[in-house]
Structures are given as structure tokens and as C-alpha cells.
Chains A and B, each alone.
Chain A
Amino acid sequence: NAGVTQTPKFQVLKTGQSMTLQCAQDMNHNSMYWYRQDPGMGLRLIYYSASEGTTDKGEVPNGYNVSRLNKREFSLRLESAAPSQTSVYFCASTLGPVSDTQYFGPGTRLTVL
């Protein structure tokens, strides 16, 4: 099992450009999450999907959109990137919405110039 995979690992964007961060899990998990982590801080939830076909806003959703493409994949889109979105982005998944353990991907380091 690869667990939770994320692509790309690194990305540099110019202000105003758009991009999509990809996340996939092979554990047959129902729930998936997107977090961002700014330097020296803990993770903050952007969006989550409790099950296929549903998505909900987290703590910091502004400037982002998500798509739960199927049970395996959950993408995060930045329509018009801003320097304030420079961060490390982590995807996570759990078996169900009340499961005990979240499994995290390795992260995508995004820099917006």
C-alpha cells in the first residue's frame, strides 16, 4: 500500500496563476482532508470530504476549491494564487468520519511569488 500520495511535491507559482494539487489514497478510506501548514505553526483544515460526493469547508477555505473525484481522489484547486497561500499542503484520509486515525500524505510545498 502506498497510503496517501500527493503530487506535486514542490511547486512555484506566480501571483494570479492557478493550479490543482492532487491527492489519492489506496486504503479504501471514506473521508479525506486538506490542510495547510505555515512556518512554525500547526496544521489548519481547509476543506474536508466526509464521504464520496460530499465536501465541507474547514477553518480556512477562502481562495480554495475542492473536488472529490471518486472515493480515492480528492483535489485542491487554487484559482488565482496569492503570496498568502505560500505554505505546505497536506492531504489526509480516515476510514470514516469518526475514525480514530488520520493518515497523512508527504505534503506539497507551494511558493507563490
Chain B
Amino acid sequence: DAKTTQPNSMESNEEEPVHLPCNHSTISGTDYIHWYRQLPSQGPEYVIHGLTSNVNNRMASLAIAEDRKSSTLILHRATLRDAAVYYCILRREYGNKLVFGAGTILRVKS
């Protein structure tokens, strides 16, 4: 499985946008980019995923570089409830396994 690299931690102010980066230089053509987050003392929850084009949903936006070697999860207005560990994961087109790294701890200040 291709690996991803994320910063250990990031900090944001409440109500401001947050850009969480992820590098995946060994990504293959059939790898989807998935983002999950894990709130304190809870199981992970799905945030968003994409293949080549930028994606938007009610939770976040995913910006994928043209060469697909990096991506950025964008939270448009961070709230205290967004404080969590964010995982960037590559999943093969027909793969059923998620391989989690250590993720990025996002702290949100009021």
C-alpha cells in the first residue's frame, strides 16, 4: 500500500479556515484519497474522498494536486467540534482495507 505523510499536529482559530496537507508521492493511478477523522474517545468517521478532481461535501472540501502526489483537506470554518485526529488514507480501487497512519492532530482555539 502506498504511504501518506502528514504533519503531526496543527492549530487553528475558531471560525477560520483550516488546510490540512497530505503528501502521497507514491500514489498509483487506481488509488483513491480518503480522509477520516477521529474525535476524542470515538471511532473514526468518514469525511471525504476523491480520485482526481476536487470534491466538496457538507463537511469539507478536498483539493487534489494535478499530479496527485499531494492533497489538502479544507475545513471552511473550524469549530471546536472539529478538534480531532485527521487521517489521510490511500485506498486501491478494488481494495477493501484502510491503512491508517498516525494522522494530524488538529487543535482549535476559541
Q: Is the CB of A90 within 8 A of B43?
A: yes
Within 8 A of A (CB), among B89-110: 93-103
A74 within 8 A of B: no
How many interface residues does chain B have, given as a range? 20 to 34
How many interface residues does chain A have, given as a range? 20 to 34
Total A-B Cβ pairs within 8 A? 53
Binding site for B on A (CB under 8 A): 4, 31, 33, 35, 40-45, 48, 50, 58-59, 90, 92, 94, 97-98, 100-107
B49 within 8 A of A: yes
Q: Across the two chains, which residue of chain A brings its CB closest to B49?
A: A100
B45 within 8 A of A: yes
B21 within 8 A of A: no
Q: Is the CB of B102 within 8 A of A98?
A: no
Q: Is the CB of A42 within 8 A of B101?
A: yes
